[in-house]
Chains A and B, each alone.
Chain A
Amino acid sequence: MNFLIILLCIILIAVIIVQIGKVSELASSIRGEEAAERDSNNWSARLLLAFLPIFLIGCIASAIYYYPYMLGYGPHESASVHGLELDHLFNITLVVTGIVFILTHIALFWFSYKYAAKEGQKAAFISHDNTLEIVWTVVPAITMAYLVINGLIVWNNTMADVDPGEDIVEVEAVASQFLWELRHPGKDKVLGARDYKLINALNPLGQDWRDEKNIDDFIMDTLFLPVDKKVRVRITAKDVLHNFYLPHFRVKMDAVPGIPTYFVFTPDKTTEEYRQGLKEYGGMWLEPADPEEPDGPRRWETFEYELACAELCGRGHYSMHKFVRVVPQEEYEAWLNRVEQTSYYLNNVRGKKNDPHKGKQLDIEKRFYEIEAAAAEEVAAPPVTQEPTTQEATAVEVVKDSVVVIENAH
C-alpha cells in the first residue's frame, strides 16, 4: 500500500516536472528566445557563484563537526609508534591538497561567474602560454616529490621486518570464514610449524605436533600484547582472502591462503592509557556505555581496541570481530604465566594416541608442577585476584568442546 502511494507520488512529481519543462519552453518562445536565454545564462552564473561559498563552507564545517572521528584527531589517536608518523603524513597531505582544493575551486567558479556571456563581450583568443604551463607542471611535480619522499621514508620504516635475534613478541593471526584464531608462541617465543593438511576438528590450525615448538603454543580469543615492545604478527588464512585490520594501531595486511604475510608494529599506549585519553577528551565518552543502564560503566571505561577484517571474505565478512588488549610489561608476564597451561597440545594431544612426545618429560610440564606446588603452599593465603580475562574462559571452552569431540570420535 505504502509502496503504491509512493509510486503515485513519484509519477505525479514526474508529470509536474515535465509540465514545468513545457511551460518554460512556451514562456521562452513568447518572450523571445534570446532574452530568455540571456536570463537563464545569468541565473546559471549566479547559481554557480552561490554554490562556491556554500560548498566550501559546507566542506569545512562538516570537517570541523566530524573532526573528533578523523584520523589522528580528537580521541582517535594512533596507539602505535608508526601510526603517529602515518597520521603526520596524512596531515601534511591534507594541508597541501586542502590548499589546492580551495584555490582551484575558487578559480573554477569565480571565472564561471565573471566571464559569463554578456552582450557585447568578446572572448579573448588565448591558445596557450608556455611559461604558465611550465610553472604549473613544475610546481605540482615538486610538491609530489616532497610527498613521495616523506611517504617512502614512513613506509620503509613501517614495513621494515625485524632483525634476526631481536627481542620481539611474535603472534599469529589465522583467518577463516568468519573468525580469527590468534596463536601465541608461549614461553619459547617461537611459533610451531603448521600444515594445512593437518587441520581437523581436533587440530584447528593444523599444528604439527612433532615440532616441539608447538608444545607451548596456545590459541587466544583476545590478542594480548605488552606495551612498547615490537610485535610481529604472522598473518595467514585458511580458506579465502581476509585482512588483518587494527584501526587504532594503523595496521592492515591481507591474510592470504598459502602465502603468510606479516606486519611489525609497536603499541605505545596500554588499553588503560587509551581509556584515560578518551575520558579526558570527554563528550560522548562520558555517556553510559549501555543506554539502558544509565548508572552503568561509561563509554570510556568499556573501550577496547578492536580487530576487524578488511577484505571481503563472504557473507559474514562484517562480523569478524576480536579484541586487542595492551598491558604493561609486568602484567603481560603475569598473564603469560597464568595462561601457559591452556596450551592446545597439553590439553588436547598430550597422552593421546597421536602424541609424538609420549613418555618424554616436557619443560612446560615441569613448570606446571612447580606452579602447582607453589599454589599448594600458598593455599592459606588469599589469592591474588586478577580479573579473569575472556580468553581464558574461551580457552577452557575450547578444551571442553574438544573433549566432547574426542569422546564422540571414539
Chain B
Amino acid sequence: MAAVKYTEEEELLILEEGHDPHFHDHHHGDDKYRMSFISHYIFSMDHKMIAKQFLVTGMFWGIMGGLMSLVFRLQLGFPEESLAWLKPVLGKWITISETGVGSLDPEFYYALVTIHGTVIVFFVLTAGLSGTFSNLLIPLQCGARDMASPFLNMLSYWFFFLAGVVMFASLFLSTGPFSGGWTAYPPLSALPQAMSGSGAGMTLWAVSIILFVVSVLLGGVNYITTVLNMRTKGMSMFRLPLTIWAFFITAIIGLLSFPVLFSGVLLLIFDRAIGTSFYLSDIYIGGQALDYVGGSPILYQHLFWFLGHPEVYIIILPAMGIVSEVLSVNSRKPIFGYKAMVYSIAAIAFLSFIVWAHHMFMSGVNPFISNFFVLFTLIIAVPSAVKVFNWISTLYKGNIRFTNAMLFAIGFVSMFISGGLTGIFLGNSAIDIQLHDTYFVVAHFHIVMGVAAFFGMFSGVYHWYPKMFGRFMNPVLGKIHFWVTMIGAYAIFWPMHYTGMAGVPRRYYRFDSFEAFSYFGEINQFITIAAVVVFAAQVLFIINFFYSIWNGKKQTTVNPWGATTLEWTTPIEPGHGNWPGAIPVVHRWAYDYGKDGRDFIPQTEPLGENESESH
C-alpha cells in the first residue's frame, strides 16, 4: 500500500537519504541528536531506543517469570514425580526424600510464586508494556521529536533496570528471595522470624519496589507532560489515537497511586528496621511476645490495594489502547464510538480509585463499608462492557486483515470478556466469601490481566515491529505463536475456575492434606502440561523476535499497514528527532478509514472543501 503523503520518487529519496527533501531547509534532525555508540545503545535519550530497552528488559523478566511458574507448576501438577533433575540449578531448594524423590522446598515454592507475581505484574506488564509503548508511541503519534525530558526518560529506564538488578540479586540469597506473596502482607513480610524469605529477601524486595516506583513516576511525569504540551500543530486532544489516550490516562493513574505504594512499603521498612508499629500489634511468634502494639495489618492492605487495584488498570489500559488501534487499522474501519472509548477509559480510571477494598472483603474491615465497594466495583463493569461492545462493532462490516497483531487483538477481546465476567462474581462480596483466595481468583486475574495484557503487548510488538526495527516478524511463526497461546492459555486457566468453585485455596503447596481439595490431580496435571506447551510457544516468539531483527523481511514502504497515524510518516528508520524535516501538521482525527470510498486518509491530509470531521 502506498502512502499518500509522498510520491514514489520522494519515498525513494527518504529511503536512501533518510530525510525529507521538502523540508530540507529547516531540518534540525541531525546535529542536536548525534550520538556515540554508548549514548546510542546504552545511555540513550532517544525515546525509541528507550522503548526497545524497556521491551527487551521486559522480555527478560517475562522469561524469568515464566520459568519460575513452570517450576512451581511441575511441583503442583506432579507432586510425586522427582524434581531431582533441577538440583544442579536450584541446589538446596530441592529436598531429596529417603526414597530419592526430589521435591521443591515449600518455602522456595512460595518464593517462586511471589517473585513470579511481582516481576510479571511490575516488570513485564507495567514496565515492559506501558514503558515500551508509551515511549515508542507518545512522541511518534503526538508528533513530537522526543519526550518532554529525554534525560528523565533515560533515568526512568535505569531505575527500572536497577530495580531488576536488586530483585535478581535477591534470588541468590542463602535465605531465599521474598516468599510472602506479591502483595507482601505484614506481619508475614515484616517479621524475619515468620519466614526465611522475610529476612534479607524482603529487604531487597522492598528496595527493588521503591526503585521501581521512582522509575514509574519519572516515566509518568514525562508521558503526561509530553501529551499535554508537545502535540504537533492541529493535534487536539480529540484527534489523538486511542493508544495515546490510554497511555496518558495510565500515566495519570500511576502518578496518583504509586506514591501510595511507596509510602506503604516505606512504613513497612520502618516496622522492619526501626521498630515502629504501623502494621504490627499483639504478636507472639517464635516463643516470644513482641513489643509492637497499636498497629494494624489491615492498614497496609488499604495502602497496598489503593495502588494495587489501579495498578491492574495501569496494566490493562495500554493494552486496550493498542488493541483499539490495531482493530481499527486492520478492520479498515474507524474505531466504533471513539468518544465513548475515551470516556470509558476515563471512567474506568476514576472508578479504579474507589474500588480497592474489593480485595479486602474478608480481611476484617467493617462489613458495612463493603456495601460501597460492591457498588462501585460492579459499576466498573459498565464502562468495561461498553468497550467490549465497541470493539466487536468495529469488526462489523469491516474488511478484516488478519495480521498477527490483529489475531492477538481479537484474542485480547475474548480474554477480556472471559476474565471480566468472572470479576462480576468476585465483586459481589457475598459470593466472594466463598471464592476469595481460591483458584477462581487466580483464573480471574490471569485471564483478564495476565493473558489479556500479554495479548495486547504481543499485538503491539507485531504491529509496531517495523517501526522499531525496519523489518517484519515472520508471520507464519507468529500464527503458530498465536494459536498455541490462545488455546493453551485457556487450557491453563479455564479449569482453574472449577477448582476454585470447589473451594480449593490458592497458594497451597500441596492439596492432599484436605479431602475437599484433593480431587483435582488430573486437572493439575493437565494445567501443568498446558503451561509447558504455552511456554514453548513464547520461546518461539522470542526466537522470531531476535531472528527478525537481522533477518526479517525488510520494510519497503513507510506505511506498511496503511495507517492514518503520524508514526508512519517518519522514515523507515527514523533518527533521533523522528522527522528529518519539520514535524507534520494534523488536520483530522486518527480514524478516517473507509471514508468517502477511500481506504484511509492520513491525519496529515487537510479536510476537503465540504468534508466535515467525523467522530
Contact = CB atoms under 8 A, between A and B. Distances in A.
Nearest to B399: A123
Given A108-B413, A127-B614, A177-B285, A303 B431 contact: no
Contacts of B410: 48, 108-109, 112
Contacts of B521: none
A116 interface: yes
Given A90-B431, A248-B516, A259-B364, A314 B280 contact: no
A2 to B, nearest CB: 6
Contacts of A66: 495, 498, 502
Interface stretch (A214-222, A305-313, A331-339, A362-370): A305-313
Given A17-B540, A126-B336, A254 B501 contact: no
Interface stretch (B132-140, B147-155, B230-238, B293-301): B293-301
Contact of B386 (A2, A133, A312): A133
Contacts of A240: 186-188, 191, 194, 285
B379 A144 contact: yes
B421 to A, nearest CB: 4
A133 B340 contact: yes
Given A137-B386, A243-B362, A256-B364, A315 B187 contact: no
Interface string B366-396: 0100110011001101100110111011011
Contacts of A199: 284, 289
B332 A123 contact: yes
A57 interface: no
B359 to A, nearest CB: 12
Interface stretch (B212-220, B400-408, B452-460, B579-587): B400-408
Which of A83, A129, A133, A251 is packed against the most chain B CB atoms within 10 Å? A133
A238 interface: yes
A254 B362 contact: yes
A247 B503 contact: yes
Contacts of A196: 282-284, 289
A121 interface: yes
Contacts of B332: 117, 123
B41 interface: no
A133 B517 CA distance: 44
Interface string B568-580: 0000000000000
Contacts of B479: 40, 44
Given A151-B428, A254-B362, A126 B333 contact: yes
B413 A71 contact: no
Nearest to A309: B505
Contact of A158 (B413, B430, B503, B517): B430
B557 interface: no
A310 B504 CA distance: 9
A406 interface: no
Interface string B159-198: 0000000000000000000011100011110010011000
A251 B433 CA distance: 6
A133 B337 contact: yes
Nearest to A128: B337
A128 B338 contact: yes
A12 interface: no
Contact of B483 (A47, A97, A155): A47
Nearest to A307: B514
Nearest to A52: B414
B437 interface: yes
Contacts of A147: 378, 424, 428
A281 interface: no
A202 B357 CA distance: 39
B564 interface: no
Interface residues of B, number: 127
A183 to B, nearest CB: 15
A25 B390 CA distance: 35
B593 interface: yes
B2 interface: no
Interface stretch (B119-127, B312-320, B470-478): B470-478
B78 interface: no
A96 to B, nearest CB: 8
Interface in A56-101: 58-59, 62-63, 66, 69-71, 76, 83, 85-86, 89-90, 93-94, 96-97, 100-101
B469 interface: no
Contacts of A404: none
Interface in B414-441: 414, 417-418, 421-422, 424-425, 428-431, 433-434, 436-438
A10 B536 contact: yes
Contacts of A154: 430
Nearest to B380: A144
Interface stretch (A184-192, A316-324, A374-382): A316-324
A136 B278 CA distance: 46
Given A133-B386, A317-B507, A125 B282 contact: no
Interface string A136-158: 11001100100110011011101
A253 B337 CA distance: 43
A198 to B, nearest CB: 8
Interface residues of A, number: 117
B420 to A, nearest CB: 9
B65 interface: no
Contacts of A90: 425, 431, 434
Which of B385, B402, B615 is packed against the most chain A CB atoms within 10 Å? B402
Interface SS of chain A: helix, strand, loop or mixed? helix
Contact of A241 (B297, B379, B494, B540): B297
Contacts of A126: 333-334, 336, 393, 396-397
A256 B67 CA distance: 34
Contacts of A123: 331-333, 397-399, 593-594
Given A44-B479, A247-B516, A254-B364, A107 B397 contact: no
Contacts of A55: 490
A146 to B, nearest CB: 10
Interface string B78-91: 00000001000000
Given A256-B297, A317-B507, A115 B396 contact: yes
Contact of A318 (B186, B363, B510): B510
Which of A97, A104, A303 is packed against the most chain B CB atoms within 10 Å? A104
A112 B413 CA distance: 12
A124 interface: yes
Which of A40, A89, A247 is packed against the most chain B CB atoms within 10 Å? A247
A3 B85 contact: yes
Which of B333, B338, B547 is packed against the most chain A CB atoms within 10 Å? B333
Contacts of A297: none
A158 B600 CA distance: 58
Contact of A137 (B187, B281, B382, B614): B382
Contacts of A58: 490, 494
Contacts of B425: 90, 93-94, 97
A257 B110 contact: no
Interface of B: 85, 106-107, 110, 179-181, 185-188, 191, 194-195, 280-285, 289, 293-298, 331-334, 336-340, 362-364, 367, 370-371, 374-375, 378-379, 381-382, 385-386, 388-390, 392-393, 395-402, 407, 410, 413-414, 417-418, 421-422, 424-425, 428-431, 433-434, 436-438, 474-477, 479-480, 483, 486-487, 490, 494-495, 498-499, 501-503, 505, 507-511, 513-517, 519-520, 536, 539-540, 543-544, 547, 553, 591, 593-597, 614-615
24 contacts: A24-B474, A24-B475, A48-B402, A62-B495, A66-B502, A69-B501, A97-B424, A97-B425, A108-B410, A112-B402, A122-B594, A133-B386, A196-B282, A251-B433, A256-B297, A258-B281, A258-B293, A258-B297, A311-B185, A312-B110, A313-B188, A314-B194, A318-B510, A319-B513
Given A20-B476, A25-B476, A148-B428, 20 more contacts: A69-B499, A70-B501, A100-B421, A104-B388, A105-B414, A112-B400, A115-B331, A122-B594, A123-B399, A127-B337, A129-B336, A136-B389, A137-B386, A140-B385, A148-B375, A152-B375, A239-B194, A252-B433, A256-B297, A258-B293
